[in-house]
Structure 1
Amino acid sequence: MAASSLRQSVSLLLSILLLILSQKGFCNKYTREDFPSDFVFGAGTSAYQYEGAVAEDGRKPSIWDKFTQEGRAPDKSNGDVTADGYHKYKEDVKLMSDLGLEAYKFSISWSRLLPDGRGAINPKGLEYYNNLINELVKQGIKLHVALYHGDLPQSLQDEYGGWLNTRIVEDFKEYANVCFREFGDRVSHWTTFSQPNIMTIGGYDYGTFAPGRCSYPFGVNCTVGNSTTEPYIVVHNILLTHAQVVKLYKNTYQTNQGGWIGMNVYSLWYYPLSDSLADIEATQRVKDFLMGWILEPLVFGDYPKIMKKNVGSRLPSFTQQQTELVKGSFDFIGLNYYTSSYVTDSPNNSHLVLRDFSKDMFAKTRGFLNETASEGPPTHMLSDPLGLQNMLEYLKNKFANPAIYIEENGYGLGAIKMLHDTDRINYLRDYIGSILNALRNGANVKGYFVWSLVDLFELLAGYKSSYGLYYVDFDDEKRKRVPKLSAHWYSNFIKNIEGDAVGEKSLASQ
């Protein structure tokens, strides 16, 4: 058999094996009691995707408001109302309590709290977050709060280019200080930035996320931007900002408030498409570029060597003082994880003048169990719980076993009223089982959050895809919540109600 045919056969067998694992279930013989008592199970949302009320009570636009109002979301939709969490937070906290959630992860809208990005606090914004936080505390639900989930105040983008300018460091630090001072007495965990790697690639290389900057031939429908340099500048400024904010928290607030602070990274597990050395090396390059881009500075104080080699002078460098500030600037790492992908080597094309993140990586990813090739983050998703276990053990071995919270994990289904979502139940059960396997192998995992609590505006799909434990009818102005079967299953699991007879104890009847 030719080597190429052998590699294809191996790849096919791997695909079949992983598909069988996903269909049969992955470590599903477990209960809540198999996890440590301090391990938390929760669910999450983010401000722009959940709150709505974008022009109410003093809130001013963020870059996502402008991006969607220009019709640049995938289905031309927006988050103007979405799940209307701004008005329905009390009802939603009651749902969390009925579910038995132990923790809730949400983000704060910078432009709701500080409408101009700095300066005077918006009293209505302050009131909203205090009311939400107090409701959660009243129900005994732990707070995991993200300071930033991609929604930069538009005023700062207009004034000096936002994350492309080092002026952002002091403005974000001022905003973080307000949050720590006003809310930190009740918040157990702070995440400075959610998935800055994927937000930056989408926002400054491909043009698919706000602020929609990119350049030809890499992105789509952009009128401004430079895909060759801007992604690297933005992440560099985010890392420096993160380090300054962590220093502020640790020096001023942590002793009295007792919270933890960390940073989040978007991740996929990657398999080489074949057993060739080129594909194996390309797979490691992708891990270094996508995840090491964020994690290596945080753990080791500098970017991965392969990034420095391939990107060259376009990759900003840390001064010695910055290295010392960034290195070790976390108590935990947040991980967003959904699926896996295959990687195949792509020619270096070093003679090309124009380059972007994908060209620098010179590798292609293929959607998991899908033959459609695409450069950049795959959008096709199938279940591979083994990939999450591999990821957690990789982080344990490569990055000195940091404390990890799975801050997003979930399963998207078509945006129809699919209440009998058994596929989502199988997915959640299998992925939680993979976390238990990793825990038993020594990974330092501390918590798990389902994405998302309720159906909401999805950054990649608008309202075409549904991730919520609760169905939301977006055609109904009341935005009524209806528990899906997965909500019953997750509730029964957290409460240690035996069996998969989800729905036996209806949340609606509690």
Structure 2
Amino acid sequence: MSTTRLPNTTSLRPDFIWGVSTSSFQIEGATREDGRGLSIWDTYCQSGAIRNHDTGDIACDHYHRYREDVGLMKALGVEAYRFSVAWPRVLPQGCGSANEAGLAFYDRLIDELLAAGIEPWLCLYHWDLPQALEERGGWLNRESAAWFADYTALAARRFGDRVKRFATLNEPSIFTLFGRSLGKRDRASEDELHRMIHSVNLAHGAAADVLRASVAGASIGCIHNRQPCRPSSASEADAAAAARLDVYWNGVFPDPQCLGAYPPSMRTAIEPHMQPGDMARICRPIDWFGLNHYSPVYVKARADAMLGYDFGDKPADVPLTPIGWPIEPDAFRLTLEAVQERYGLPIYVLENGYGSFDQPDQKDVVNDSGRIEFLKAYIEAMNAAASGGVDVRGYFIWSLLDNFEWDSGYSTRFGLTYVDYASLRRIPKASFGWYAGLIKARHSS
């Protein structure tokens, strides 16, 4: 791969970490093997709501093919791999008896990563809540913080001798908003959404304390999806709607976790769910800010929506990815700068990527030139932020593999590696070679 197409990374730290990310439900499959319990996503898939009626039953079959996938990471040259543990795989009922077979799978994966010289970054929760806990109220139940703390303690005991990088939650704003107000699962009241937000924040704080007490040398963070929320038009109503979504999307989790207070406009709404001492329970010392960023969100007012907003039209002059997401690398730079200014923590970019509909040609070549151009532009925007003083310390591409992309099923592909779902064969794309070239060039400079 020619270095002429590599991005400018001269302002990034010498010890900058290059990685890739995945999540358990999206790649593992084996949903009914070796004692794994059901998750809420198994249940949701069985409802037929996913595009093409896809399910996570097989996914990329990473559960059986993890050695091959670690081999791909080694070929890439990445220094770190962010993955998640499936809560129902290790605790089938969410609480109580642990599943040794599930724990043993993650032992094997972690050991394989370490043998390949790749640092494991373990995310405790990437959306696959045990169905047994959902039936007890799920995140709407304040007891969920204690359930999560117990699960965290199990993971810390089992893996903390080899894993030091832990994320408590992935994108709490997304699984609360899309689970309780936006999208197909619009099934809650506004008050229930606020209760859920507070319970999830309590769970983060409880998990951070468990990790700090249990894992010597633990490096702890939470992963937040932050996208600028912009009005779809010049109307005052759309501006107000965008500002309201911005609080729910970008503020209600990092503010209490890092600053010890909910955004002012949310405090009255959250107050009925608070007990004395809750903010101290939520705002626990953490070591870094995990940032997932893809593109700005364009927002319109919608009077009949639960919170008064919905997704609106994007500007006609903004380029889009094949799946319709805006390509605005300068928004990435601005987001990094805003996170630095507001929270003052080291930043690791733990998801950034490009969704498309890649297919191999007759020679089994996947030429995803659009992804390469996207990654180049976004890495250069990150470099520009670093040159301005932003303390960004790592960048992880979403994703190592094409995978189950939630409501889109398998129709959308974000991977550096093409997965033929019929045969489960992996085919590294052109972007795979490009990223490997970037990492190699960084190491040799």
Tell me, yes or no, whether TM beats 0.5: yes
Alignment of 1:49-448 (within 5 A): 49-158=26-135, 160-206=136-182, 208=184, 212=185, 214-215=186-187, 226-253=188-215, 256=216, 258-273=217-232, 283-308=242-267, 312-313=268-269, 316-343=272-299, 346=301, 356=306, 358-359=307-308, 363-370=309-316, 380-399=324-343, 401-414=344-357, 416-417=359-360, 419-448=366-395
Q: What is the letter of the counterpart of residue 162 of structure 1? A: G
Q: Which moved more, 1:164-173 or 1:328-337?
A: 328-337
Q: Secondary structure at the match of 2:212?
A: helix
Q: Which moved more, 1:412-421 or 1:175-184?
A: 412-421
Provide, for residues 398-431 of structure 1, a one-character-per-residue CA deviation record: whole Å limited to 9, x for no partner: 23x2221111111011153371000000011111
1: CA distance, partners of 2:442 / 2:266? 48
2: CA distance, partners of 1:228 / 1:277? 23
State the partner residue of 2:438: 493
Q: What is the letter of the counterpart of residue 467 of structure 1? A: F
2: CA distance, partners of 1:455 / 1:273? 31
Return 5+ residue gaps in structure 1 as ranges.
1-26, 216-225, 373-378, 499-510
1:367–1:381 CA contact under 8 A, matched in 2 = no
Shift of 1:203: 1.4
Shift of 1:367: 5.0
Q: What is the letter of the counterpart of residue 292 of structure 1? A: G
* Change in CA separation of 1:370 and 1:233 when aligned onto 2, cut-off 3 Å: farther
1:97–1:139 CA contact under 8 A, matched in 2 = yes
Q: Secondary structure at the match of 2:105?
A: helix
Provide, for residues 205-227 of structure 1, a one-character-per-residue CA deviation record: whole Å limited to 9, x for no partner: 2353xxx4x33xxxxxxxxxx23
Shift of 1:127: 1.2
Shift of 1:228: 2.3
Q: Which moved more, 1:49-58 or 1:330-339?
A: 330-339
Q: Secondary structure at the match of 2:199?
A: helix
Larger Rg: 1
State the partner residue of 2:24: 47
Question: What is the root-mean-square deviation of aligned Cα atoms in Å?
Answer: 2.4
1:45–1:452 CA contact under 8 A, matched in 2 = yes
1: CA distance, partners of 2:229 / 2:142? 33
Provide, for residues 52-84 of structure 1, a one-character-per-residue CA deviation record: whole Å limited to 9, x for no partner: 001111111111111101112133101100100
Q: Secondary structure at the match of 1:58?
A: coil
TM-score between the two structures when normalised by the length of structure 1: 0.79
2: CA distance, partners of 1:275 / 1:398? 27
Q: What is the letter of the counterpart of residue 8 of structure 2? A: Y
* Change in CA separation of 1:196 and 1:89 when aligned onto 2, cut-off 3 Å: same
Shift of 1:154: 0.9
Q: Secondary structure at the match of 2:441?
A: coil
Structure 2 residue 425 is the aligned partner of structure 1 residue 480: yes
1: CA distance, partners of 2:7 / 2:83? 30
State the partner residue of 2:418: 471
TM-score between the two structures when normalised by the length of structure 2: 0.90
1: CA distance, partners of 2:401 / 2:232? 36
1: CA distance, partners of 2:391 / 2:249? 21
Aligned residues with identical type, % of pairs: 35
Shift of 1:251: 2.6
1: CA distance, partners of 2:426 / 2:271? 46
1:339–1:368 CA contact under 8 A, matched in 2 = no
* Change in CA separation of 1:473 and 1:293 when aligned onto 2, cut-off 3 Å: same
* Change in CA separation of 1:355 and 1:385 when aligned onto 2, cut-off 3 Å: closer
1: CA distance, partners of 2:128 / 2:242? 31
Q: Secondary structure at the match of 2:277?
A: helix
Provide, for residues 1-47 of structure 1, a one-character-per-residue CA deviation record: whole Å limited to 9, x for no partner: xxxxxxxxxxxxxxxxxxxxxxxxxx96514x642122211111100
* Change in CA separation of 1:316 and 1:462 when aligned onto 2, cut-off 3 Å: farther
Q: Secondary structure at the match of 2:253?
A: helix
Q: Secondary structure at the match of 1:152?
A: coil
Q: Secondary structure at the match of 1:127?
A: helix
Q: Secondary structure at the match of 2:19?
A: strand
Q: What is the number of residues matched between the two proteins?
A: 431
* Change in CA separation of 1:279 and 1:54 when aligned onto 2, cut-off 3 Å: closer
1: CA distance, partners of 2:243 / 2:178? 21
Q: Which moved more, 1:314-323 or 1:124-133?
A: 314-323
1:232–1:315 CA contact under 8 A, matched in 2 = no
2: CA distance, partners of 1:412 / 1:454? 12
2: CA distance, partners of 1:365 / 1:206? 9
1: CA distance, partners of 2:54 / 2:240? 40
Shift of 1:446: 1.6
